[in-house]
Structure 1
Protein backbone atom coordinates (compact mmCIF):
# COMPACT_ATOMS: atom_id res chain seq x y z
CA UNK A 1 0.00 0.00 0.00
CA UNK A 2 1.48 3.37 -1.03
CA UNK A 3 1.46 6.40 1.16
CA UNK A 4 -0.44 9.44 -0.05
CA UNK A 5 1.69 12.21 -1.53
CA UNK A 6 2.83 14.83 0.91
CA UNK A 7 1.99 18.48 0.39
CA UNK A 8 3.89 21.69 1.08
CA UNK A 9 0.75 23.83 0.87
CA UNK A 10 0.10 24.42 4.59
CA UNK A 11 3.81 24.98 5.23
CA UNK A 12 4.15 27.52 2.43
CA UNK A 13 0.97 29.34 3.46
CA UNK A 14 2.39 29.71 6.97
CA UNK A 15 5.75 30.83 5.61
CA UNK A 16 4.16 33.44 3.38
CA UNK A 17 2.24 34.95 6.30
CA UNK A 18 5.44 35.01 8.37
CA UNK A 19 7.29 36.58 5.42
CA UNK A 20 4.66 39.30 5.02
CA UNK A 21 5.01 40.12 8.70
CA UNK A 22 8.79 40.04 8.64
CA UNK A 23 8.86 42.22 5.52
CA UNK A 24 6.75 44.77 7.36
CA UNK A 25 8.96 44.62 10.43
CA UNK A 26 12.11 45.16 8.39
CA UNK A 27 10.47 48.12 6.64
CA UNK A 28 9.22 49.66 9.86
CA UNK A 29 12.29 49.03 11.96
CA UNK A 30 14.94 49.87 9.35
CA UNK A 31 13.31 52.65 7.31
CA UNK A 32 10.93 54.20 9.86
CA UNK A 33 12.91 53.88 13.08
CA UNK A 34 16.64 53.34 12.50
CA UNK A 35 17.24 55.28 9.28
CA UNK A 36 14.22 57.58 9.76
CA UNK A 37 13.92 58.18 6.01
CA UNK A 38 10.13 57.89 5.99
CA UNK A 39 7.12 57.23 8.19
CA UNK A 40 3.71 55.85 7.38
CA UNK A 41 2.17 59.18 6.33
CA UNK A 42 5.28 61.30 5.84
CA UNK A 43 4.42 62.35 2.26
CA UNK A 44 1.09 63.72 3.55
CA UNK A 45 1.92 64.85 7.09
CA UNK A 46 5.39 66.31 7.64
CA UNK A 47 7.35 65.01 10.61
CA UNK A 48 9.15 68.30 11.34
CA UNK A 49 6.57 69.41 13.94
CA UNK A 50 5.66 67.66 17.18
CA UNK A 51 2.07 67.10 16.04
CA UNK A 52 3.20 65.73 12.66
CA UNK A 53 5.73 63.44 14.31
CA UNK A 54 3.10 62.17 16.76
CA UNK A 55 0.53 61.50 14.03
CA UNK A 56 3.11 59.58 12.02
CA UNK A 57 4.19 57.67 15.13
CA UNK A 58 0.60 56.55 15.77
CA UNK A 59 0.22 55.36 12.16
CA UNK A 60 3.61 53.63 12.33
CA UNK A 61 2.29 51.84 15.44
CA UNK A 62 -0.89 50.77 13.63
CA UNK A 63 1.29 49.49 10.79
CA UNK A 64 3.46 47.54 13.27
CA UNK A 65 0.35 46.07 14.92
CA UNK A 66 -0.85 44.84 11.51
CA UNK A 67 2.46 43.19 10.61
CA UNK A 68 2.63 41.69 14.12
CA UNK A 69 -0.78 40.11 13.44
CA UNK A 70 0.43 38.71 10.10
CA UNK A 71 3.45 37.20 11.86
CA UNK A 72 1.31 35.75 14.67
CA UNK A 73 -1.10 34.22 12.14
CA UNK A 74 1.87 32.74 10.28
CA UNK A 75 3.28 31.19 13.44
CA UNK A 76 -0.14 29.72 14.28
CA UNK A 77 -0.44 28.29 10.76
CA UNK A 78 3.10 26.89 11.02
CA UNK A 79 2.25 25.19 14.32
CA UNK A 80 -0.80 23.57 12.71
CA UNK A 81 1.14 22.58 9.59
CA UNK A 82 3.92 20.77 11.45
CA UNK A 83 1.36 18.64 13.30
CA UNK A 84 -0.22 17.36 10.08
CA UNK A 85 1.07 14.00 8.84
CA UNK A 86 0.38 14.90 5.19
CA UNK A 87 2.66 17.97 5.23
CA UNK A 88 6.14 17.67 3.78
CA UNK A 89 8.35 19.43 6.31
CA UNK A 90 11.07 21.19 4.37
CA UNK A 91 13.29 24.00 5.58
CA UNK A 92 13.88 25.00 1.95
CA UNK A 93 10.15 25.27 1.25
CA UNK A 94 9.59 27.20 4.48
CA UNK A 95 12.46 29.61 3.81
CA UNK A 96 11.37 30.02 0.19
CA UNK A 97 7.83 30.82 1.26
CA UNK A 98 9.10 33.37 3.81
CA UNK A 99 11.10 35.03 1.02
CA UNK A 100 8.01 34.95 -1.20
CA UNK A 101 5.88 36.58 1.53
CA UNK A 102 8.57 39.20 2.23
CA UNK A 103 8.69 40.02 -1.48
CA UNK A 104 4.89 40.12 -1.68
CA UNK A 105 4.89 42.63 1.16
CA UNK A 106 7.42 44.84 -0.66
CA UNK A 107 5.52 44.65 -3.94
CA UNK A 108 2.04 45.29 -2.55
CA UNK A 109 3.06 47.89 0.04
CA UNK A 110 5.27 49.64 -2.50
CA UNK A 111 2.56 49.76 -5.15
CA UNK A 112 -0.18 50.91 -2.78
CA UNK A 113 1.66 53.27 -0.41
CA UNK A 114 4.39 54.65 -2.70
CA UNK A 115 2.52 54.84 -6.00
CA UNK A 116 -1.28 54.63 -5.64
CA UNK A 117 -1.92 56.42 -2.32
CA UNK A 118 1.33 58.42 -2.36
CA UNK A 119 1.46 58.44 1.46
CA UNK A 120 5.20 57.93 1.72
CA UNK A 121 8.25 57.06 -0.35
CA UNK A 122 11.33 54.98 0.39
CA UNK A 123 13.47 58.08 0.77
CA UNK A 124 10.95 60.80 1.62
CA UNK A 125 13.25 63.78 1.01
CA UNK A 126 13.50 62.77 -2.65
CA UNK A 127 9.77 62.11 -3.03
CA UNK A 128 8.98 59.52 -5.65
CA UNK A 129 12.36 58.36 -6.90
CA UNK A 130 14.32 55.44 -8.20
CA UNK A 131 14.31 54.03 -4.65
CA UNK A 132 10.56 53.39 -4.89
CA UNK A 133 11.20 51.29 -7.99
CA UNK A 134 14.15 49.50 -6.37
CA UNK A 135 11.79 48.59 -3.52
CA UNK A 136 9.30 47.12 -6.03
CA UNK A 137 12.09 45.27 -7.84
CA UNK A 138 13.32 43.80 -4.56
CA UNK A 139 9.81 42.47 -3.99
CA UNK A 140 9.74 40.79 -7.39
CA UNK A 141 13.25 39.35 -6.89
CA UNK A 142 12.38 37.96 -3.45
CA UNK A 143 9.13 36.47 -4.74
CA UNK A 144 10.88 34.84 -7.69
CA UNK A 145 13.65 33.41 -5.49
CA UNK A 146 11.11 32.05 -3.01
CA UNK A 147 8.93 30.58 -5.75
CA UNK A 148 11.92 28.81 -7.31
CA UNK A 149 12.87 27.32 -3.93
CA UNK A 150 9.32 26.08 -3.31
CA UNK A 151 9.05 24.70 -6.85
CA UNK A 152 12.33 22.83 -6.44
CA UNK A 153 11.12 21.13 -3.25
CA UNK A 154 7.79 20.23 -4.83
CA UNK A 155 9.43 18.81 -7.96
CA UNK A 156 11.91 16.74 -5.92
CA UNK A 157 9.13 15.38 -3.67
CA UNK A 158 6.99 14.43 -6.68
CA UNK A 159 9.83 12.39 -8.20
Structure 2
Protein backbone atom coordinates (compact mmCIF):
# COMPACT_ATOMS: atom_id res chain seq x y z
CA UNK A 1 0.00 0.00 0.00
CA UNK A 2 1.34 3.39 -0.96
CA UNK A 3 1.39 5.96 1.81
CA UNK A 4 -0.39 9.29 1.59
CA UNK A 5 2.37 10.93 3.60
CA UNK A 6 4.33 12.56 0.72
CA UNK A 7 1.12 13.69 -1.03
CA UNK A 8 -0.22 15.21 2.19
CA UNK A 9 3.00 17.14 2.74
CA UNK A 10 3.15 18.29 -0.89
CA UNK A 11 -0.41 19.60 -0.57
CA UNK A 12 0.56 21.42 2.62
CA UNK A 13 3.56 22.89 0.80
CA UNK A 14 1.40 24.14 -2.07
CA UNK A 15 -0.88 25.97 0.37
CA UNK A 16 1.96 27.28 2.52
CA UNK A 17 3.84 28.43 -0.59
CA UNK A 18 0.75 30.32 -1.70
CA UNK A 19 0.40 31.92 1.73
CA UNK A 20 4.07 32.97 1.70
CA UNK A 21 3.64 34.47 -1.78
CA UNK A 22 0.44 36.28 -0.82
CA UNK A 23 1.66 37.56 2.53
CA UNK A 24 5.17 38.61 1.47
CA UNK A 25 4.79 39.71 -2.16
CA UNK A 26 1.17 40.93 -2.09
CA UNK A 27 0.79 42.39 1.38
CA UNK A 28 4.18 43.19 2.92
CA UNK A 29 6.21 44.24 -0.12
CA UNK A 30 3.17 45.31 -2.21
CA UNK A 31 4.97 44.22 -5.38
CA UNK A 32 1.84 42.83 -6.99
CA UNK A 33 -1.68 41.60 -6.43
CA UNK A 34 -3.42 38.69 -8.15
CA UNK A 35 -4.75 40.72 -11.06
CA UNK A 36 -2.35 43.66 -11.08
CA UNK A 37 -1.12 42.78 -14.59
CA UNK A 38 -4.64 42.94 -16.00
CA UNK A 39 -6.25 45.55 -13.71
CA UNK A 40 -3.41 47.66 -12.28
CA UNK A 41 -5.66 50.42 -10.95
CA UNK A 42 -8.63 48.37 -9.77
CA UNK A 43 -7.80 47.69 -6.12
CA UNK A 44 -11.27 46.32 -5.41
CA UNK A 45 -10.84 43.58 -8.03
CA UNK A 46 -7.29 42.90 -6.86
CA UNK A 47 -8.27 42.66 -3.19
CA UNK A 48 -11.14 40.31 -4.04
CA UNK A 49 -8.81 38.14 -6.14
CA UNK A 50 -6.18 38.16 -3.36
CA UNK A 51 -8.84 37.08 -0.87
CA UNK A 52 -10.02 34.24 -3.12
CA UNK A 53 -6.39 33.22 -3.62
CA UNK A 54 -5.85 33.08 0.15
CA UNK A 55 -9.07 31.08 0.52
CA UNK A 56 -7.71 28.55 -1.99
CA UNK A 57 -4.45 28.40 -0.02
CA UNK A 58 -6.41 27.74 3.17
CA UNK A 59 -8.34 24.92 1.47
CA UNK A 60 -5.07 23.36 0.29
CA UNK A 61 -3.59 23.54 3.80
CA UNK A 62 -6.72 22.07 5.38
CA UNK A 63 -6.79 19.23 2.82
CA UNK A 64 -3.09 18.61 3.45
CA UNK A 65 -3.64 18.42 7.20
CA UNK A 66 -6.60 16.06 6.74
CA UNK A 67 -4.50 13.77 4.52
CA UNK A 68 -1.58 13.98 6.93
CA UNK A 69 -3.80 12.84 9.82
CA UNK A 70 -5.02 9.97 7.67
CA UNK A 71 -1.44 9.06 6.67
CA UNK A 72 -0.04 9.25 10.23
CA UNK A 73 -0.09 5.49 10.90
CA UNK A 74 2.04 4.86 7.80
CA UNK A 75 4.41 7.81 8.34
CA UNK A 76 8.10 6.91 8.16
CA UNK A 77 10.23 6.95 11.33
CA UNK A 78 12.07 10.07 10.13
CA UNK A 79 8.79 11.82 9.34
CA UNK A 80 9.88 15.25 10.54
CA UNK A 81 12.71 15.61 8.04
CA UNK A 82 10.71 13.98 5.28
CA UNK A 83 7.65 16.16 5.97
CA UNK A 84 9.83 19.27 5.88
CA UNK A 85 11.31 18.11 2.58
CA UNK A 86 7.99 17.39 0.91
CA UNK A 87 6.55 20.68 2.19
CA UNK A 88 9.52 22.53 0.65
CA UNK A 89 8.95 20.62 -2.59
CA UNK A 90 5.26 21.59 -2.53
CA UNK A 91 6.21 25.23 -2.06
CA UNK A 92 8.58 24.90 -5.00
CA UNK A 93 5.86 23.35 -7.17
CA UNK A 94 3.59 26.25 -6.23
CA UNK A 95 6.26 28.70 -7.46
CA UNK A 96 6.84 26.79 -10.68
CA UNK A 97 3.19 26.32 -11.64
CA UNK A 98 2.04 29.77 -10.53
CA UNK A 99 5.12 31.42 -12.03
CA UNK A 100 4.79 29.82 -15.44
CA UNK A 101 1.00 30.20 -15.72
CA UNK A 102 0.37 33.57 -14.06
CA UNK A 103 3.65 35.38 -14.77
CA UNK A 104 4.78 34.07 -18.15
CA UNK A 105 1.74 32.65 -19.97
CA UNK A 106 -1.23 34.76 -18.81
CA UNK A 107 0.57 37.88 -17.58
CA UNK A 108 -1.94 38.16 -14.72
CA UNK A 109 0.87 39.70 -12.70
CA UNK A 110 4.64 39.62 -12.37
CA UNK A 111 6.71 39.18 -9.23
CA UNK A 112 7.67 42.83 -9.54
CA UNK A 113 6.45 44.82 -12.52
CA UNK A 114 8.61 47.35 -14.29
CA UNK A 115 12.30 47.37 -15.06
CA UNK A 116 13.75 43.89 -14.67
CA UNK A 117 10.39 42.15 -14.32
CA UNK A 118 11.55 39.15 -16.38
CA UNK A 119 14.56 38.75 -14.09
CA UNK A 120 12.29 38.73 -11.03
CA UNK A 121 9.99 36.18 -12.67
CA UNK A 122 12.92 33.94 -13.65
CA UNK A 123 14.43 34.21 -10.16
CA UNK A 124 11.04 33.17 -8.72
CA UNK A 125 11.08 30.11 -10.99
CA UNK A 126 14.71 29.29 -10.17
CA UNK A 127 13.93 29.52 -6.45
CA UNK A 128 10.95 27.21 -7.00
CA UNK A 129 13.10 24.68 -8.87
CA UNK A 130 15.68 24.76 -6.06
CA UNK A 131 12.94 24.17 -3.47
CA UNK A 132 11.64 21.19 -5.48
CA UNK A 133 15.13 19.69 -5.80
CA UNK A 134 16.14 20.19 -2.15
CA UNK A 135 12.73 19.20 -0.83
CA UNK A 136 12.59 16.04 -2.93
CA UNK A 137 16.06 15.02 -1.74
CA UNK A 138 15.03 15.52 1.87
CA UNK A 139 11.66 13.85 1.37
CA UNK A 140 13.05 10.76 -0.35
CA UNK A 141 16.27 10.48 1.64
CA UNK A 142 16.96 7.28 3.50
CA UNK A 143 17.85 7.19 7.18
CA UNK A 144 21.24 5.66 7.94
CA UNK A 145 21.01 2.77 10.33
CA UNK A 146 23.25 3.18 13.40
CA UNK A 147 26.36 1.01 13.60
Q: Determine if the TM-score, normalized by the shorter chain, exceeds 0.5.
A: yes
How far does the alpha carbon of each residue in 1:29-85 deviate from its partner, in whole angstroms, 9 at most, with x for none? 0000111010001011013xxxx0111000011111111110110010111111x2x
Q: Which runs of 5+ in 1 are unaligned?
A: 1-5
SS in structure 2 at match of 1:126: coil
Q: Give the total of aligned pairs.
A: 144
Q: Choose the corresponding residue for 2:122, options 133, 138, 157.
A: 133
How far 1:126 sits from its partner (Å)? 3.4
Moved over 4 A (4+): none
In 2, distance between residues paired with 1:66 and 1:100? 18
Query: Does the CA contact (< 8 Å) of 1:43 and 1:127 recur in 2?
Result: no
Structure 2: 5+ residue stretches without partners: none
Q: Calculate the aligned-residue CA RMSD, in Å.
A: 1.8
What TM-score do the two structures reach when normalised by structure 2?
A: 0.91
Matched, 1:43 2:37: yes
**Aligned equivalents of 2:36 and 2:144: distance in 1?**
47
Question: Cα deviations across residues 101-151 of structure 1 (Å, max 9, x unaligned)?
Answer: 000000000000000111100002337420000000011000000111122
Which shows bigger deviation, 32-41 or 118-127? 118-127
Q: Tell me the distance in 2 between the aligned counterparts of 1:80 and 1:156.
A: 27
